[in-house]
Structure 1
Amino acid sequence: MKEFGKTTQLVHADKSLNPQIDGAVHSPANQSVLFEFQDAQDIVDAFQGKIAAHVYSRSSSSTNTSLQNVMNHLEQGIGAVTFATGMAAISTVMLSLLKYGDHIIVSDFLFGNTRSFFKHLQKLGIEVSFVDVTDVQHVVNAKQPNTVLVFCESLSNPMTHIADLSAIGKYCQGQQLLYIVDNTMSPSVIFSAKDAGASLVISSLTKYVSGHGQVLGGSVVDTGLFDWRHYANVEPMYQVGDSAQWGLTQIRKKGLRDMGATLPAPSASTILVGLETLDLRYQKACENARKLAQHFMNHPKIKQVFYPGLASHPQHFLARDHFSSYGALMSIELPEGEDIIQFINRLNLVICSTHLGDTRTLAIPVAQTIFFEATQVERDRTGITDQIVRLSIGIEDVDDLIADFEQALNA
């Protein structure tokens, strides 16, 4: 696809990358579960990986392929797989590529559900080291002889820590470690995970990519930077053909065929439509977030603002080096004694919800909800107090948002 501007590419990506024989500009939702083969040898060859074909919709369909092609293009990859949710993408990638006795290094600032999953992996005999990924030296120090991969989020939720992305990428390449980046909070319109050295890029398509809070989905893109011939966990049956595709083949076989984490065709079609306005929506939300952060910065009713666009943010310079915008996620800390439940209840325009990346601005108390299962030690280590409110900034008129926060803070 020709390198037009970001929005032009997004608007025309589905039509350009997945041309329809009837001239449709949107890939239709193909809900057929089964696919007919006129020659029985073809279905044999498809099962054995000798030819590419849709065999059963749990593993693939034309609509999911269309979405995979667009996500692959956006992340500059060599292939993609879509999943039912973002957590399905994370869990199936890990369960497909890890085995008992492996050691992995992951961010200490992970979103609550992701952290919960990695703690579950420890019960399956996989060693997990949670480290501060804002400095590559912590990753280096955690490396063990049985370490096979490093996993981090580009921008952490909810406290907006920025990983030392490029430095970790260079280290992983030098050590032949798989480097997996969850790019949900800083999608490709502001950050190229491949340029930072990521081997696999995971996204929750539920968030900014689809953008309207009406569909679930996840994806993983292989950037082509990792040599799968050096990864001992690829099973011999998948070590056929182009070695660059070995990893995705195993993820697809295990995650979709065996575990059934399949994205429904109607969901894939809805996500493709949402993708068209990703850059427009996200840039507006980022601009709103920047203005709100500046407004909150010196507010007497706000103790602290966590937003990488502020010079006071501890990883501001990392964010400036990696991102073209600073994102639309922030958290604020209210002073001790302020009732954050009542504060959120006083908001009229802003919605109390656990979602992220919506066109509407959302607020949620963090420690009491999405980090309720975290231990106090984990909360203290990641800076989450009982006074933290997470804000996912939407695309409303910013003056209206400021007015809503003002009346809630000053009531």
Structure 2
Amino acid sequence: MTETQLDIAKIRKDFPILTRKVNGNPLVYFDNAATSQTPRQVIDTIVEYYSRYNANIHRGVHALAQEATEAYEEGRKKIQQFFNAAHTHEIIFTSGTTHSINLVANGFTSLLKKGDEILVSAMEHHSNIVPWQMLCERTGSTLKVIPMDTDGVLKMDDYKKLLSRRTKLVVCNHVSNALGTINPIEEIIPLAHAVGAAVLVDGAQSSPHLKVDVQKLDVDFYTASAHKLCGPTGIGMLYGKQDWLKKLPPYQGGGEMIAEVTFEKTTYADLPYKFEAGTPNICGGIAFGAAIDYLNSIGLEVIDAYEHELLAYATEKLSRIEGMQFYGTATRKTAVISFNIKGIHPYDVGTLLDKMGIAVRTGHHCAQPVMDFFQIPGTIRASFSFYNTKEEVDRFVEALVKARQMLT
């Protein structure tokens, strides 16, 4: 895949922010793993909602309420099709991946007991560690860690040894936000099911890059955040198999998630509304659908191929810099490069890059156990998207060389 075939120049025109300058320099945005940028098609959808049919949904009989309800539920349907869920009611709107994980963790409170075990990978984001620690504290269950090697690859032999009939849940990210590693969930999921365990996969970092088919994977729960997928912040989704969602109790109580309320007893609404208490992020759900439309118009397979070309190009260029140390050297990875330059703190590099208009992420990336494993305070992380260019990579490398000279 080349820039010409993908028509990067045309795509970049869809993203107004890419034309701005930072500290007098054209913006180079390489912080896509934290949040993607938003195309005008999604921005226009947000403006149209608030300009033309802003109304509460599901309960109103007037025209605006009906239009908003139809657009919101159409957003849910687009997400269902994007991830190939069997039913639209298996898609729960949440505020994002963290909310989705907490919803499931809360639901398992009544299903776990002392002596049960939860397996979590060594390369998780804090949002896929802390909720399970809290669940273990509530239930007396034990959290066990699937180790990784120095390439940032999970040790699958150790995973197999950790599995037992005590294992009730296996939680793992599809792609590491800190390292870019693509985890072998196609192998992880059936092994967990073989011992009767459920599986939750954090798809926050995979969904913008990889075509995900939840039915083919046979995963029990899968999460995603719209702001990683060219959508707005504050909206995400939880996919759950129908049988599991019916088994889990509601996460929150309030309006919308009820069938009938009396002071004596309350009955809950059917899926998906059982988990969607209160007025939702209506505009967010609609805009999430618009973002899905935009990505579909390009094609995830095309996006993945081009991003891998960028990854290979950037890796080769960066490897020429003296003192370069890469973290996360798995064969299968997305377009994320996590690195340090010997003898220089990552924060100092990130600060100087910002002065030159280049946005990268520095620190532990909410994956402190990963940094502890490598015995480092953090890394510099450059994460690429389909609207980035090789010319931007060249500017990035030149700026890094300059920063290194200034700091050594």
Alignment counterpart, residue 366 of structure 2, candidates 367, 370, 389: 370
Note if 1:157 corresponds to 2:177. Answer: yes
1:132–1:362 CA distance, 2 compared to 1 (3 A): farther
1:218-249 deviations in Å (ceiling 9; x for gaps): 1122367xx659x97679xx9xxxxxxxxx96
How far apart are residue 266 of structure 1 and its match?
Answer: 1.1
How far apart are residue 252 of structure 1 and its match?
Answer: 4.8
Distance in 1 between residues matched to 2:123 and 2:104, nearest whole Å: 20
User: Is the 2:119–2:145 contact (alpha carbons within 8 Å) kept by the matching residues of 1?
Assistant: yes
Count of residue pairs the alignment pairs up: 317
Q: Specify the SS of the correspondent of 1:168.
A: helix
Q: Specify the SS of the correspondent of 1:277.
A: helix
Q: Residue 335 of structure 2 corresponds to which residue in structure 1?
A: 328
Alignment counterpart, residue 92 of structure 2, candidates 59, 77, 81: 81
Alignment map for 1:114-125 (pairs within 5 Å): 114-125=128-139
Alignment map for 1:267-346 (pairs within 5 Å): 267-278=284-295, 280=298, 282-283=303-304, 284-304=306-326, 306=328, 313-314=329-330, 316=331, 319=332, 326-335=333-342, 337-346=343-352
Alignment counterpart, residue 206 of structure 1, candidates 227, 238, 251: 227
Alignment counterpart, residue 119 of structure 2, candidates 105, 109, 112: 105
Q: Residue 239 of structure 2 corresponds to which residue in structure 1?
A: 221
Q: Specify the SS of the correspondent of 2:276.
A: helix
1:36-56 deviations in Å (ceiling 9; x for gaps): 589xxxxxxxxxxxxxxxx9x
1:149–1:63 CA distance, 2 compared to 1 (3 A): farther
Distance in 2 between residues matched to 1:70 and 1:204, nearest whole Å: 14
Q: Residue 404 of structure 1 corresponds to which residue in structure 2?
A: 396
How far apart are residue 393 of structure 1 and its match?
Answer: 1.8
Task: With a CA cutoff of 8 Å and minimum separation of 6, indicate the structure with the bigger relative contact order.
Answer: 2
1:116-172 deviations in Å (ceiling 9; x for gaps): 333333332243222237244333322344432211111111022332312112212
For 1:77, the aligned partner's letter is A
1:62–1:149 CA distance, 2 compared to 1 (3 A): farther
Q: Residue 56 of structure 2 corresponds to which residue in structure 1?
A: 32
1:246-273 deviations in Å (ceiling 9; x for gaps): xx967752x423xx5x641111122222
Tell me which moved more, 266-275 or 61-70.
61-70
Q: Residue 66 of structure 1 corresponds to which residue in structure 2?
A: 74
1:292–1:151 CA distance, 2 compared to 1 (3 A): same
**Percent of matched pairs sharing the same residue:** 12
How far apart are residue 217 of structure 1 and its match?
Answer: 1.6
For 1:265, the aligned partner's letter is I
How far apart are residue 202 of structure 1 and its match?
Answer: 1.0
Q: Residue 241 of structure 1 corresponds to which residue in structure 2?
A: none
Q: Residue 142 of structure 1 corresponds to which residue in structure 2?
A: 162
Structure 1: segments with no counterpart, 5+ residues: 1-23, 39-54, 239-247, 307-312, 320-325, 352-360
Q: Residue 381 of structure 2 corresponds to which residue in structure 1?
A: 390
Q: Specify the SS of the correspondent of 1:267.
A: helix
Structure 2: segments with no counterpart, 5+ residues: 1-47, 149-153, 251-256, 258-268
1:35–1:387 CA distance, 2 compared to 1 (3 A): closer
How far apart are residue 348 of structure 1 and its match?
Answer: 4.6
Distance in 2 between residues matched to 1:233 and 1:34, nearest whole Å: 23
Note if 1:182 corresponds to 2:228. Answer: no
Q: Residue 244 of structure 1 corresponds to which residue in structure 2?
A: none
Distance in 2 between residues matched to 1:389 and 1:142, nearest whole Å: 33
RMSD value, Cα: 3.9
Q: Specify the SS of the correspondent of 1:347.
A: helix
How far apart are residue 285 of structure 1 and its match?
Answer: 4.4
How far apart are residue 341 of structure 1 and its match?
Answer: 2.3
Distance in 2 between residues matched to 1:209 and 1:343, nearest whole Å: 27
Distance in 2 between residues matched to 1:73 and 1:250, nearest whole Å: 17
User: Is the 2:221–2:238 contact (alpha carbons within 8 Å) kept by the matching residues of 1?
Assistant: yes
For 1:149, the aligned partner's letter is L
How far apart are residue 405 of structure 1 and its match?
Answer: 2.9
Alignment counterpart, residue 353 of structure 2, candidates 332, 347, 350: 347
1:29–1:405 CA distance, 2 compared to 1 (3 A): farther
Distance in 1 between residues matched to 2:53 and 2:119, nearest whole Å: 39
